[in-house]
Structure formats: C-alpha cells, structure tokens
Structure 1
C-alpha cells in the first residue's frame, strides 16, 4: 500500500462524522486525483449528487494542473446546475514529496441562508453573495462538454465561426485548465466542437509545441 492509499483509507471513516456534524445540508467528498476520470473515492451526505466513481470537477482539474503550486481553496461559493448555492472548501492531500494526489472536499448548501441574507440585507447592509458556476457530475463526458461550452462562451462565438488563431486560443485555454489530462478528452472535445479528431490532435500538438 502506498502512502497515498494509506491516507485515503484513513480518511474514509472521517467523512460520515464530518457530514453529521454539519447536518443534512452538508456533503463530504474524498477524491483520488490519480484517477481523474473516476476520482470520487467516497461520499457522505448528499448535496451535489456526487457518487463514488464520479469524475473530478473543473476546480479539481485546475488544481491538479498546478501541481505543487496548488493551494487549498477554502470557503468559496459555487452553484449546482439546479441553482443551489454551495459554500465549499477543497483541502488538498499531498504525499511526502509534496505532490498533490487527492482532496477532501466539504460542500455546504447555503441556499436557504442566502435567501435569509437577502431578506435581512437592508437592515444588516449585507452585500449580495457572488455567483459562480461549476459542474458537479459523475460523467466525465458531461464535465468535458461543460468546460468546452464555458470556454467557447468566453470567446463569444461558436467554433464554426472562429478563426484558426481563435480555435488555438480555445485549445490553449482548455489545456491550461487541465482538461486534456483526462482519458479520451481529445475525442470528447472534438465531438463537442464539431471538428474531426485529427484536427483536435493537431491543434493540441500545435499549442504545446
């Protein structure tokens, strides 16, 4: 058993206790980033619909891409596709060499608290909570399509109307987010963009050269 396996095994029993401490609106997820397509090792509670064997999120991909420079992400806000507001913390797990191999994530549904904050805002001078989005899914294909759609939206035009330079910028953005670390990411990206696999592989090779 490796050190990483030992840490993951030791943390499994902790999940239920953490979820119970925060109540029914809390979910705790244990990730093994060595398997990005199925990084979810264990889940306690139910907030985002995560399940063992599910893929990692965009944030996880980004942190994995950063390597040793990655830092814990504490108390950030995001939204589920259903519109629920989630306060989340992602605490990285590292081996003895400092390499990131996983994460312990705590997701707390604060939607009802947000509604209360809006109602009390005028009295308490509360600033509106910022909006953010992420994709909580157990399907790596859905994750890839969501990231592609987000980056395509940032560029402001569909791939069919992009110049070659803009298409390369799109691939560069996807690579910087760690998307191509996933198995079969290139075919999935090609399908999402409506281009051939050969073109996708050529674009990836060009930006990395």
Structure 2
C-alpha cells in the first residue's frame, strides 16, 4: 500500500484503539513527510496533541533513524505536568519499505504507579522515565531538545567554543532536529550565532570525522 492509503486506513482505527483502553489512552498517527505538523489523527487526551501538531523528540529520533527505525515499545516518559506515561512508537512503512510515519500509543499510568510496587510491572518498564515534550509547537520541541543537550554539557549553549558547538550540533543533527522546517534559525538564535555560521558549522559536522572515528 502507498503511504497515503495506509494513513487513510489507520485514521479509522485510531478512535477505536483509544476507546478500547479508555480515557487513560491516547493514540496519535503521524505523517513524517511533514515533520513540523506531522499529527494527522489523534484520539484521547493524555498529552494534549492536536491534528496539525509537531512531532516530539521521540518522533525526531525515529525520523533521524530513517528506514533503520524499529518499534519502540513500552518506554516511560513524563509529561511537563508530572504524569507518568507508558508509550509505544511503531514506524509505518510504504510498499517500498520506506519509513514515512508512525502510530503512537500513550497510556497514562500515573494512577497505577501510585498504587505501589506491586503494580510496577503492569505499568511497564524497569528504568527511570525520561522527560519528553509533547507539543503542537515546533519551537517548543526544538527548545526542549536544545535544553536536554544543554544539561548534558552542564553549561548554557550560548557562547560555546567552536569544538563544543560542533559537538552540540552533531548531537542535534543525530536527533533529527534539522528535519524540522525553521529549526536552523531557532538553534542559531539559541547559540548566539548567525544562520550562515550555523550552516557552515553543520556542514563541518557532517563531513568531519567524530572523535570516535578518528
């Protein structure tokens, strides 16, 4: 089936799948061919997604992986308001095997976790939950990814030296940030450099070997 045919078929499945799990469930259908407004269908209100919204950092990672993307099942995230969410992201492939989107299921397991350790296995995942940004605003998603890298560097990204800036841009590129339309000027503004400088640095990141490759 073509990508459009698969999306049309799944649009009819999304409400029924969400209803099966009740009000704690949200199902989101993404078309990654339009990453800055990838949400084409949604049912449920766990993360507040809306049709026409942008993908999250998780979606960016799938997009960055391209055709090598695999199902990411039962991982834990935490919403900005503190709710614990068990999620699964399943890439969608067209008739050529090309990844073009994803079907995502988000289940609010906050209440289950509050019951106690006895229900921890039911809530899923043994590791600590990671924070992610579920937003319909591309700028918020880009800002969240930059903030995460800022934490990893343990310093503000504005005013970084060139070696550190190149490492940051390489990390952002790996996470798929620059697939989003308009991401480059937003990142340049956060770094305090011109767009021309950012594009030059990004080109260097993509051609120069990493420390591990040297």
CA offsets 1:53-101 (integer angstroms, 9 cap, x no match): 0011111111111112110011110011111100001111101111101
Instruction: Return the alpha-carbon distance in structure 2 between the equivalents of residues 187 and 59 of structure 1.
Output: 21
CA distance in 2, matches of 1:160, 1:28: 37
Q: CA RMSD in A?
A: 1.8
Question: SS of the residue aligned with 1:115?
Answer: helix
Q: Structure 1 residue 191 and structure 2 residue 204: aligned? A: no
- Measured in 1, the distance between the counterparts of 2:190 and 2:167 equals 16
> Corresponding residue for 2:135?
137
Provide the residue aligned with 1:27 in structure 2.
Answer: 26
Contact between 2:159 and 2:191, CA under 8 Å: does it hold in 1? no
Q: CA deviation at 1:129?
A: 5.6
Q: In structure 2, how many angstroms separate the alpha carbons of the residues matched to 1:201 and 1:129? A: 37
**Which structure 2 residue ranges, 5 or more long, are not aligned?**
120-124, 208-214
- Aligned residue runs from structure 1 range 151-162, under 5 A: 151-162=149-160
Count of residue correspondences: 203
Conserved 8 A contact 2:38-2:55: yes
Secondary structure of 1:107's aligned partner: strand
Compute the displacement of 1:176 (Å).
0.6
Q: 5+ residue gaps in structure 1?
A: 122-126
Q: Which moved more, 1:157-166 or 1:70-79?
A: 157-166
CA distance in 2, matches of 1:129, 1:96: 36
TM-score, normalization by structure 1: 0.92
TM-score normalised according to structure 2 size: 0.90
C-alpha separation between the residues in 2 aligned to 1:192 and 1:161? 9
65 and 13 in structure 1: CA distance in 2 versus 1, 3 angstrom threshold: same
1:106 is displaced (CA, Å) by 0.6
